[in-house]
A and B are shown apart, each in its own frame.
Chain A
């Protein structure tokens, strides 16, 4: 029985064997293939790539199967693989104005250069379960347009001439862009490090914080200036070459949130911006990220810090779901050495208490 308290190698081995069995499930049902997950559970794959900080659909799909569909576990698998990969260099900043967009909407302008384009969205669907999907009914091919799409400047560039919206801003001279996967976070953060942390932050956590800003905790009067989803080119500067080399394309979601700003001693009244950029198609995450980014700029813009969403240490220290799930779940590990110490303390304090107050009616009576 003493042995049963402690784990042992055989127990772990058998537990993992059972896990593999449960993962596979009924053997008469065909096993999932990775391409099925990539093709048909694409948004789950996107979330794993985004929060796992690794753009690789097949690896993300593998992680999802291995994690039995638990996306945070899948994100963790991807992160643990990613961290072992060599770092060849850093690409140039992606040019989202040159995006091959599949979706592009603005809530601040009825029409704008490049137009509004709904793309593959759940918006305006009625959330009615569709029994036909269960029977594998044929699906129509999508409408395609033939014409070359016109240029699609970013909404933030459209008003830039008037100075009504703040510009992208300049980094301090000599500033080397941070890399939160290679350097420890040091608060207060520069915005580059903060945006990186937000981009890999937990969707649910950022969503809740973004929601809190809408409900009055650091209200920022936001408008969706623009959301665009599509493919951007990655370019890498190679020292031997005097032109950047194209590495390929990745699919990203970008959100530019435009926020009211009354101005401060330092700045004239103008619209400020919150920014969101994530791998794949994840509008909810990009929007939440941009609201959080804007809220976290409170210090920079001279606003009062009154709410959780504005508190950089609070938000960034708790936004990483791999860290959060690890630490919450570590409470499953044995703590009996510490618990023993506490047991001992409580027993002694109870003994003191009883000595002072008497334990029960009989001792009280005896005392009286």
Chain B
């Protein structure tokens, strides 16, 4: 029963033991050295389920130090349940300061979004990745897809995008839109809406991607070329919204659609809650700002 007598406090700083952190850091360094390349790593079981951010959590646990300030977002928001859960986890096992302010954070762990505020040098964005392999839905076998990456054989992906155009008149991929990193590896940006793809390009921040269940880490070092795949006659374009945010009137940001009633009433509000709150504090008002608390 000795195991049961152990206190939670005996977990190492940031949960993982130092050997595991070293292993993960090596994978991260390799990932940074080969931008966009998926580095296999010996992913550990984490105290949250696979598919719920275990890759991101392991990357964060491996790089976080006592002086870091952590922000965790899910769907762009700090108060989404899983973001709350992961933030609480690090508060508990690493006792680090947490924040919701994008500008103050040194590490931002995210699921599905990149903050609207441009990131700066010294910041690290950690993505939670469910399926790291951009070719997975074209070829289910890992043995095949690794070969395709090695040979830079990405024709299949272009054919898929072309078939979209032939069938739907446009590229019908709206999130997890494939990118090419530094002219070499085709990479899955994680299921962020393609709206966020341009933010990855030449970003001043370090971008790390962790896929726990699939046991892969990859990285985009600062100031790296990240180009969304497209065709000359069908250039890549991001989503646009007809209306500004109903709370802070922001334009050119990603909006969530919120259903207001059962009569088709709906509003569009910033998905990035920190960005929205900042703007409201600065006095920006959207058309529904007064009505919705």
> A and B from one assembly?
yes
Chain A residues packing against B (C-beta within 8 Å): 1-3, 5-9, 11-12, 56, 58-59, 62, 76, 79-84, 86, 181-188, 313, 317, 322-323, 325-330, 333-338, 340-345, 348-349, 352
**B74–A333 contact, CB under 8 A?**
yes
B45, A80: Cβ atoms closer than 8 Å: yes
Asked if A333 contacts B174 (CB within 8 A), the reply is: no
B256 interface contact, C-beta 8 A:
yes
A261 to B39, CA, bound (A): 39
Whether the pair A185, B215 counts as a contact (CB closer than 8 A) is yes
Whether B149 sits at the interface, judged by CB under 8 Å, is no
Q: Which residue of A lies closest to B1 (CB)?
A: A58
Query: Is the pair B81, A327 in contact by a Cβ cutoff of 8 Å?
Result: no
Q: Is the pair B143, A81 in contact by a Cβ cutoff of 8 Å?
A: no
Answer yes or no: B154 CB below 8 A from chain A CBs: no
> Knowing A58-B1, A338-B112, A341-B175 touch, does A330 contact B44 (C-beta < 8 A)?
no
Task: Report the nearest A residue to B213, measured CB to CB.
Answer: A323
List chain A residues, Cβ under 8 A from B130.
327, 330
Pairwise interchain contact A313-B141, C-beta atoms closer than 8 A: yes
Q: How far is the CA of A186 from the CA of B40 in the complex (A)?
A: 8
Residue from B49, B82, B269 in contact with A325 in the complex, judged by beta carbons closer than 8 Å: B49
Residue B162 CB within 8 A of the other chain: no
25 residue pairs bridging A and B, Cβ less than 8 Å apart: A2-B293, A3-B293, A6-B79, A6-B80, A6-B81, A7-B81, A8-B79, A9-B79, A12-B81, A58-B1, A58-B4, A76-B49, A83-B45, A83-B46, A84-B15, A313-B143, A326-B50, A326-B52, A326-B54, A334-B75, A334-B80, A337-B113, A338-B112, A342-B175, A349-B172
Confirm or deny: B191 has a beta carbon within 8 angstroms of a beta carbon on chain A: yes
Q: Count the B residues whose beta carbon is within 8 Å of the partner chain — how many?
A: 66
Q: Count chain B CB atoms within 10 A of each CB in A58, A79, A338 and give the residue with the most.
A: A338
Query: In the assembled complex, which residues on chain A have CB atoms less than 8 Å from the CB atom of B174?
Result: 338, 341-342, 344-345
Q: Is the interface of A mostly helix, strand, loop or mixed?
A: helix
Instruction: Point out the residue from B47, B77, B88, B140 that lies within 8 Å of A6, measured CB to CB.
Output: B77
Residues in B neighbouring A12, C-beta threshold 8 A: 81, 84-85
Among B50, B82, B260, B292, the residue within 8 A (CB) of A323 is B50
A162 to chain B, nearest CB (A): 38
Task: State whether A9 touches B88 (Cβ < 8 A).
Answer: yes
A78 to chain B, nearest CB (A): 9
The answer, yes or no, to whether B183 is at the interface (CB within 8 Å) is no
Q: How distant is the Cα of A267 from the Cα of B173 in the complex, in angstroms?
A: 50
Tell me if B17 is interfacial: C-beta within 8 Å of chain A.
Answer: yes
- Residue numbers in A under 8 Å from B12 (CB-CB): 84
Write the chain B residue with the least CB distance to A2. Answer: B292
Contact A341 B193, beta carbon cutoff 8 Å: yes
A338 touching B42, Cβ below 8 Å: no
A79 vs B45: C-alpha distance in the bound complex, in angstroms? 6
Q: Which residues of B contact A6 (CB under 8 A)?
A: 77, 79-81, 273
- Residues of the A chain whose Cβ atoms lie less than 8 Å from the Cβ of B264: none
Residue in chain B with minimal CB distance to A8: B79
Residue of A8, A12, A329, A336 with most chain B CB atoms under a 10 A cut-off: A336
Query: Within 8 Å of chain A (Cβ to Cβ): is B208?
Result: no
Q: In the bound complex, do residue B143 and residue A340 qualify as a contact, i.e. CB atoms below 8 Å apart?
A: no
What is the CA–CA distance of A6 and B256 in the complex, to the nearest angstrom? 12
